[in-house]
Amino acid sequence: MLSLVASPALDRGPLPAEGGGAGAVLRTVLAGGPMARSAVGRAVGLSAAAVSRHTADLLALGLLRELPPPDGPPRAGRPQLQLDVDTRHHLACGVHIGVPWLTFSLLDLRGRVVAHERLPRTGDAAEVLRTVRTHLPGFTARRAAGRSLLGVGVVTGGWVDAERGVVVEHAPLGWRDVAVRDLLAGSTRLPVHVDGHARALARAELLFGAGQGSTELVQLFVGNVVDAAIATGGTVLRGRRSRAGDIGHLPVPGSAEPCPCGRTGCLQATVSDRAVARRAYRQGLIGRPDLDLLMARAAAGDTAAVALFEERLALVAPVAALLLDVVNPEVLVVSEAGLTVVPELAGQLRRQVLEHSRPEPARLVAAGSFGRDLLAVAACAGVLDSAYQRPMELRTARAS
């Protein structure tokens, strides 16, 4: 069995036209396929010869495939075979490190979850990474069913320096300057992509979700960490020291919730999953402060549980509106647990966001596309994004 291993150079400058063209062909087929080469050429703006060359490369890598010709009477000339993303050979692997859980996942090239498993997150950074190192080989052996792995993504909330592969600060986990990529690189031959949760979700939304076909997107994530990611020109901004999108300490008017940063009324402290679960517990809605319990009650239609999520979204809406006005994206995606279990809340959120923002009818406010698969998808997003941006760097094949 051959496995493809990407080059470790994950962050480079402008791409040569060659690699960029193959990536554009692959992303076009992802968004619009199955489609014929001629349609790909029109969509990407490349000549027939260039499309043909890139397609041959992508077929050889097992990233694209040609669908068999449809049944029917033979037609004159060479048939125009339809191209589609080939999901048979490769998988992305990822680990999401959350406050309560570690989520291990495998995704195919269409961003569909093939397998996921979760373990309770216990202990400090060293212990967590030890758990990742010991669980990962068995997980992939059991669940990848012989398919090759394109890389390992490691995603967590908070301030993550993707370039250096370091979790700079994750207050809810108590992590500071954890060199995740270096600590894991020794235990896998695969490239390790470390990224912040919101940025990973933004990449996934652009490839597979509400942002497919868009280049301007804002992703707002509300969980135990509250942060945002901004994509312009199809590229997710990192900002200096990978700190763009750190909105967790914006002030919430009227909130007196103490924050670990020393102030009170910060957004993250006020609306985090833990804060909402504590509120529900204090109100006697759930037997222990656990968001999963509150989500189950809301999903079952308990109005008091739904009201707590409504209350949170009402606090999030002005922040979402601010991002909408500052960045003016094509789509603003809000990922929040209440929207997952009570999809009707999305309409209310949309109205509130647009009430707080400058009116412009074309702006789209969407709930996150991945529902309960959110963490599994985020974990693998960096690996898949790398394959779609720079497919020709996957050429180094090795036997495993």
Contact indicator for 345, 309 with CB cutoff of 8 Å: yes
Identify which range of 148-156, 203-211, 229-237, 247-255 contacts Zn ion by CB under 5 A: 247-255
Work out whether strand 2-5 and strand 396-399 pair parallel, antiparallel, or are unpaired.
antiparallel
Alpha-carbon distance of 166 to 26, in angstroms, equals 30
CB 264 to Zn ion: min, Å: 8
CB 269 to Zn ion: min, Å: 6
Report the candidate in 156, 316, 114 with the shortest Cα–Cα distance to residue 222.
Answer: 316
Longest dimension (CA), the chain: 75
Which stretches of the chain are DSSP H helices? 17-32, 37-44, 48-60, 125-143, 180-185, 197-208, 267-271, 273-282, 291-299, 303-327, 337-341, 345-356, 374-389
Of 228, 259, 271, 381, the residue at the interface with Zn ion (CB under 5 A) is 259
CB 262 to Zn ion: min, Å: 7
Identify which range of 6-14, 87-95, 211-219, 244-252 contacts Zn ion by CB under 5 A: 244-252
Identify which range of 23-31, 34-42, 237-245, 257-265 contacts Zn ion by CB under 5 A: 257-265
Nearer Cβ to Zn ion, position 121 or 249? 249
CB 61 to Zn ion: min, Å: 46
Nearer Cβ to Zn ion, position 178 or 259? 259
Of 56, 261, 326, 397, the residue at the interface with Zn ion (CB under 5 A) is 261
C-alpha distances out from residue 380 to 78, 79, 299, 394, Å: 39, 36, 27, 16
CB 226 to Zn ion: min, Å: 10
Helices 17-32, 48-60: crossing angle, 10 deg rounding: 80
CB 174 to Zn ion: min, Å: 15
CB 335 to Zn ion: min, Å: 21
Identify which range of 169-177, 182-190, 248-256, 391-399 contacts Zn ion by CB under 5 A: 248-256
Alpha-carbon distance of 100 to 173, in angstroms, equals 9
Nearer Cβ to Zn ion, position 263 or 351? 263
**Strands of 35-36's sheet in order across:** 35-36, 82-85, 64-66
Nearer Cβ to Zn ion, position 213 or 251? 251
Identify which range of 23-31, 109-117, 187-195, 265-273 contacts Zn ion by CB under 5 A: 265-273
Nearer Cβ to Zn ion, position 220 or 226? 226
CB 210 to Zn ion: min, Å: 29
Alpha-carbon distance of 184 to 134, in angstroms, equals 11
Indicate whether 252 belongs to the interface with Zn ion (CB under 5 A).
Answer: no
CB 258 to Zn ion: min, Å: 9
Indicate whether 249 belongs to the interface with Zn ion (CB under 5 A).
Answer: yes
User: Coil, helix or strand for 303?
Assistant: helix
Indicate whether 125 belongs to the interface with Zn ion (CB under 5 A).
Answer: no
Nearer Cβ to Zn ion, position 212 or 255? 255
Work out whether strand 148-156 and strand 90-97 pair parallel, antiparallel, or are unpaired.
parallel
Identify which range of 40-48, 102-110, 115-123, 246-254 contacts Zn ion by CB under 5 A: 246-254
Compute the C-alpha angle 276/281/285, nearest 5°.
100
Alpha-carbon distance of 163 to 159, in angstroms, equals 12
Compute the C-alpha angle 20/24/29, nearest 5°.
155
Indicate whether 145 belongs to the interface with Zn ion (CB under 5 A).
Answer: no
Torsion of CA 73, 77, 78, 83, to 10 degrees: -70
What values do phi and psi take at 52, rounded to 5? -65, -40
CB 270 to Zn ion: min, Å: 9
Task: List all residues 6 or more positions away from 282 whose beta carbon is below 8 Å from its beta carbon.
Answer: none
Identify which range of 30-38, 134-142, 223-231, 249-257 contacts Zn ion by CB under 5 A: 249-257
User: Total residues at the site for Zn ion (CB under 5 A)?
Assistant: 5
Indicate whether 266 belongs to the interface with Zn ion (CB under 5 A).
Answer: yes
Chain residues in the site for Zn ion (CB under 5 A) = 249, 259, 261, 263, 266
